[in-house]
Amino acid sequence: MKLLLKWWQQQLNEVVVMRNRVRFLFFLFILIMPYSASAILSMELTRGIAGAIPIAVVPFAAGEDVPQHVADIIATDLQNSGRFKVYGQQSLSSLKARLSIGETSTVGFPSEVGAVSNDYFRRLGTDNVVIGKVVPLLNDRYQITFQLLDIFRGTGKKSVTLGRSYTVSAHELRSIAHHISDLIYQKLTGIKGVFSTKLAYIVIRTEPDGRMRYILEVTDQDGYNPRPLLDSPEPIMSPAWSPNGRQLAYVSFEDRRASIYVQDVITGMRHLLSKFPGINGAPAWSPDGQKLALVLSKSGAPNIYVMDVASSRLTQLTHDFYINTEPAWSPNGKSLLFTSNRSGGPQIYQINLATGSISRLSYDGDYNARASYTRDGNHVVMIHRVSGIYYIGILDLDTGTMRVLNKSIGDSSSPSIAPNGSMILYDTVYRGRNILAMVSADGNVQLVLPAREGEAQDPAWSPFLS
Amino acid sequence: MKLRQWIQILFISTCVLVLVGCHTKRKTDQSAINEANAAYATGAQTSGLGEGSHFSDQSNNSTMRLSTKHVYYFDFDSSVVHEVDKPAIDANADYMLAHENAKVMLEGHTDPRGSREYNIGLGERRAQAVGEIIKDKGIHPGQIRVVSYGAQKLAIPGHSEADYQKDRRVVLVYLQR
């Protein structure tokens, strides 16, 4: 474990060294690589997004031996959210040199509000400035202080809109950086940030002897800190977070048949939930966490059921011989979306849990599947096929219009919406490999998260974890 | 001196905490993995019998002919068995009729495109379609097991139409002869 940490830190240090050498936009390659050369420019996406917020993230004052570059993590978080035009270390340094500003300050970047030159940031084009410092304490602990300034409000203390101080250990530096990103994001957009959330997904590797390995992994939202929850020689599918983020339900074929397990994310303990003959699939927690919708084919064809988690009591919702699958709860828990081929190809239907009445929601296209509601319940995100390609589409329930979100990318699958509704995580074929990718709910921001090895698929975005 | 002692105590307790932390974490990961592996081992009654050549060490009898045809391919989004595969399925059914201890597993597969869970449904339909042909021959349903892997076990890892054609299949595996 210690060796692993050491190795990890070395990797990070290398990343940091490299990052200092390349231009600001390209440092995005290091953490989350934009999906093509042209997309790096679209990462300057502020162009395409109405009201992208300029913000300068000034490198934090820190000793040489501070293992994480807190300000870089914050800058990357904000940049990758697509809601900000971020001025990080590189752009700040070059502009500083060009304008010959800051020559009076020999210490470099300001870390105290009194040292901030409002004139400098005004010329840069941003009123929002993040400053901070990391002070090493004893025993590998650090004090992190940051302030968010709005220099439009004035100079000095008058400009401070947010300020906090934390004491954390070295391994918590990334977490605290993400937490600071959350606070800044919420202060400036009014929406809760998702930088402290996690992603679950399946990694598939081929061993040298040709055998397959399936691993259920959980990482931080930016792809760091991957950890395995289950490692199996047989397929694992459809991870689903409980609403409190403490458990994952998933399908495992570990004894050559489908079973649904529920695993505690922290302890790794798990229990078997469902192992009926035939399909046991597509688990989906109700918003209150009391029930799980799932798919069983014990009747002879896949049908939707709801299981009361405490009592394991099953209620069958669909009763036919079509393929009915992929239940997804409405935010109020009163209805479910599901995929069914009752009209020929797969389409999205909604079942009212009180009345049992079923209505069709998707009419655009001949293949729509794996639907989920956005948080406000006004839109439905799904797999949507156009001209033989599988995209992520979003259906506006008010207008009935369908929109493709990720048109420039290959066959895509398994959309999962961020808990704040800002981004949609999915998997896609990229350069012949299956990888994870993200697109903003308006389609303007696209990112990919290449797997370190093997193929990554079937992602699920966690709920808010704190 | 006192300060040094405090530093020592802090250092040691941090080490202990770190070690404990590492230990519990490893246990967490490892126990999950062990559990999965253990569970797999309990299913080992079938684990030695892959899709491979179950009859290949026999020769010059009817079963040799069978071994050449235990994979049946399907059209896109279809669970209709090809006419060309029906003689081979019938031959397997005849074998099962003659050997009532014989048990088969029908593994339904799809190509990787589209929804994974919908593909599980589609794979099951394909396996059931083959199963129906076998049952129509008078085979006891208890001799047939169906599992759908959907797109989780591709025949070919590639992403061309030629690869997809190889992925859309039902594999007949003898669990017991």
Clarify whether residues B125 and B164 are in a common domain: yes
Q: Is B25 exposed, middle or buried (0-12, 13-18, 19+ CB in 10 A)?
A: middle
- Through-space distance between the first and last CA atoms of chain B, rounded to whole angstroms: 79
In angstroms, the Cα distances linking A48 to A84, A324, A395, A443, A445 are 11, 39, 21, 10, 9
Full pLDDT tens readout for chain B, 177 residues: 455 666 555 555 544 444 444 443 333 444 444 444 444 443 322 222 233 233 333 333 444 444 458 999 999 999 999 999 999 999 999 999 999 999 999 999 999 999 999 999 999 999 999 999 999 999 999 999 999 999 999 998 888 999 999 999 999 999 988
Torsion angle of the four alpha carbons A102, A107, A111, A117, in this order, in degrees rounded to the nearest 10: -10
Residue A154 region by backbone torsions, left for phi larger than 0, else alpha for psi between -120 and 50, else beta: left
Q: What is the largest CA-CA distance in chain B?
A: 90
Q: Which residue has the higher pLDDT, A430 or A266?
A: A266
A38-52, A262-276, B7-21: which range is least confident on average?
A: A38-52
Give the residue ranges of DSSP H helices in B54-160. 62-67, 86-98, 116-136
Question: Within this chain, do residues B22 and B75 fall inside the same structural domain, yes or no?
Answer: no
Q: Say yes or no: B6 and B88 in one domain.
A: no
Residue B50 lies inside a defined structural domain of this protein: no
B75 touches chain A (CB under 8 A): no
8 Å CB contact of B121 and A297 = yes
Q: What is the amino acid identity at position A427?
A: D
Chain A residues with CB under 8 Å of B113 CB are 390, 411, 413
Tokens of A443: 């389609």
State whether B149 and B72 are in the same domain: yes
CATH architecture of the domain formed by A198-461: 6 Propeller (2.120)
Phi and psi at residue A342, to the nearest 5°: -65, -20
B25 touches chain A (CB under 8 A): yes
pLDDT of residue B170: 98
Nearest to A383 among B115, B146, B149 (CB): B115
What is the C-alpha R_g of chain B? 25
Q: State how far the Cα of A44 lies from the Cα of A26, in Å rounded to an integer.
A: 11
Cβ-defined contact of A256 to B147 (cutoff 8 Å)? yes
Q: Find which of B27, B79, B115 to mutate to test the A interface (most A CBs within 10 Å of its CB).
A: B115
- The rounded distance, in Å, linking the Cα atoms of A109 and A115 is 9
Look at B115 and A369 and tell me if their CB atoms are within 8 Å: yes
Contact A434 B113 (CB under 8 A): no
**pLDDT single digits (tens) A178-198:** 999 999 999 999 999 999 999
DSSP state of A351: E
Tell me which residue of B150, B88, B154 sits closest to B125, measured CA to CA.
B150
Is residue B30 located within the same domain as residue B81?
Answer: no
Q: Dihedral of CA B128/B130/B135/B139: which sign?
A: negative
Q: Are residues B69 and B40 in the same domain?
A: no
pLDDT digits (tens, 9 = 90+) for A316-347: 999 999 999 999 999 999 999 999 999 999 99
Q: B119 with B150: CB under 8 angstroms?
A: yes
Residue contact A323–B118, C-beta within 8 A: yes
Q: Is residue B54 part of a domain?
A: no
A390 contacts in B (CB within 8 Å)? 113-114
Same-domain status, B162 and B87: yes
Please state at what angle helix A70-81 crosses helix A89-99, rounded to 10 degrees: 100
Q: What is the pLDDT of residue A433?
A: 86
Residue A113 banded pLDDT, cuts 50, 70, 90: confident
Tell me how far apart the alpha carbons of residues A339 and A362 are, in angstroms, rounded to a whole number.
10
Cβ–Cβ contact B6 with A under 8 A: no
Q: List all residues 6 or more positions away from A106 whose beta carbon is below 8 Å from its beta carbon.
A: none
pLDDT at A430: 85
- B77, B153, B158 member nearest A235 (Cβ): B153
Angle, CA B89 vertex, CA B83 and CA B94 arms, to 5°: 135
pLDDT band of residue A156 (cuts 50, 70, 90) is: confident
b/e for B90-128, b at 16 or more Cβ within 10 A?
eebbebbeeeeebbbbbbbbbbbbbbbbbbbbbbbbbbb
Same domain assignment for residues B158 and B73: yes
Distance of alpha carbon A415 from alpha carbon A370, whole angstroms: 7
Is residue B56 one of the residues assigned to a domain?
A: no
Q: Give me the domain span that covers residue B12.
A: 1-44
Question: Does B22 lie at the interface with A, CB-CB under 8 angstroms?
Answer: yes
Please state, in angstroms and rounded to a whole number, the distance separating the CA atoms of residues A70 and B75: 53
Q: How large is the average pLDDT for residues A425-444?
A: 89
Fold matches, A2-189 and A198-461: no
What value of ipTM does the predicted structure carry? 0.86
Q: Residue type for A207, please?
A: E
Q: How far apart are CA A109 and CA A91, in angstroms?
A: 12
Count of the separate structural domains present in chain B: 2
d(CA A372, CA A240): 12
Contact residues for B91 (Cβ-Cβ < 8 A; gap 6+): B62, B65, B66, B69
Q: Which CATH number fits domain A2-189: 3.40.50.10480, 3.30.420.40, 3.30.70.20, 3.40.50.10070?
A: 3.40.50.10070
**B6/B83 same-domain check:** no
Residues in A touching B173 (Cβ below 8 Å): none
Across the range A283-287, mean pLDDT stands at 98
User: Is B70 in the same domain as B115?
Assistant: yes
> A134 - beta bridge partners?
A62, A144
Q: What angle do CA A184, A185, A186 make, to 5 degrees?
A: 90
Looking at residue A52, what is its pLDDT?
Answer: 83
Q: Kindly give, in sequence order, each residue whose CB lies less than 8 Å from that of residue B36, ignoring residues fewer than 6 positions away.
A: A230, A231, A232, A252, A254
**Residues 6 or more apart whose Cβ sits within 8 Å of residue B108:** B122, B123, B124, B125, B126, B127, B128, B146, B147, B148, B149, B150, B170
Region of A95 (left: φ > 0; alpha: ψ -120 to 50; beta: rest) is: alpha
Residue B119 domain-assigned? yes
- DSSP secondary structure of A326-342: EEEE-TTSSEEEEEEEE
B125 and A CB contact within 8 Å? yes
- Region A156-182: what's the mean pLDDT? 94
Domain spans in chain A, listed from the N-terminal domain onward: 2-189, 198-461
Q: Is the pLDDT of residue A273 over 80?
A: yes
A235/B121 CB distance under 8 A: no
Confidence bin at A68 (pLDDT 50/70/90)? confident
- Same domain assignment for residues B144 and B112: yes
CB A390 within 8 A of CB A367: yes
Subunit contact B122:A323, Cβ cutoff 8 A? yes
Q: Are residues B146 and B75 in the same domain?
A: yes
